[in-house]
């Protein structure tokens, strides 16, 4: 798969980058075309990272993404190649998204606060 992408001129990042937010900020949009359940965790961190950088996201309806982000401005769901192409055009031609707001409740800080809240409520 990587070789196929490289042959077509794509840049493939397959190692740790300490300042990944710089890569996201340089991008026009984030594509997440994953279809297989075992290909990523149910709430892909790369999608959350991209959204935290206010990137529009075009993704398959993978894992918990639809449940959490359906109807969010700047997040587009696609199933077919045609839908992906159309979503990319819409994402690039629309106003700059504010996807960061949609992921605020999915930060580590918020997850910890939710966990503490649950612990405080338990008998």
How many angstroms separate the CA atoms of 42 and 34, rounded?
A: 11
Q: In the CATH scheme, what is the homologous superfamily, with its name and number, of domain 2-121?
A: Glycogen Phosphorylase B; (3.40.50.2000)
The answer, yes or no, to whether residue 8 has pLDDT greater than 90, is no
Question: What would the pLDDT profile of 107-123 be if each residue is shown by its tens digit?
Answer: 778 778 877 888 887 66
pLDDT (0 to 100) of residue 89: 95
Domain ranges of the chain: 2-121
Of 2, 76, 89, the residue nearest 32 (C-alpha): 76
What are the tens digits of pLDDT across the range 50-103?
999 999 999 999 888 988 899 999 999 999 999 999 999 999 998 888 888 888
Q: What Rg do the C-alpha atoms of the chain give, in angstroms?
A: 16
């Amino acid at each position: 798969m990587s070789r196929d992408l490289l042959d077509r001129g794509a840049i493939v990042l397959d190692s740790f980058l300490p300042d990944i937010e710089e890569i996201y900020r340089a991008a026009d949009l984030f594509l997440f075309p994953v279809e297989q359940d075992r290909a990523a965790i149910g709430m892909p961190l790369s999608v959350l990272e991209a959204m935290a950088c206010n990137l529009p996201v075009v993704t398959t309806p993978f894992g918990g993404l639809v449940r959490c982000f359906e109807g969010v401005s700047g997040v587009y769901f696609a199933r077919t190649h045609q839908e992906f192409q159309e979503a990319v055009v819409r994402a690039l031609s629309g106003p700059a998204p504010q996807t960061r707001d949609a992921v605020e409740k999915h930060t580590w800080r918020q997850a910890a606060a939710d966990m503490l809240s649950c612990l405080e409520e338990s008998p």
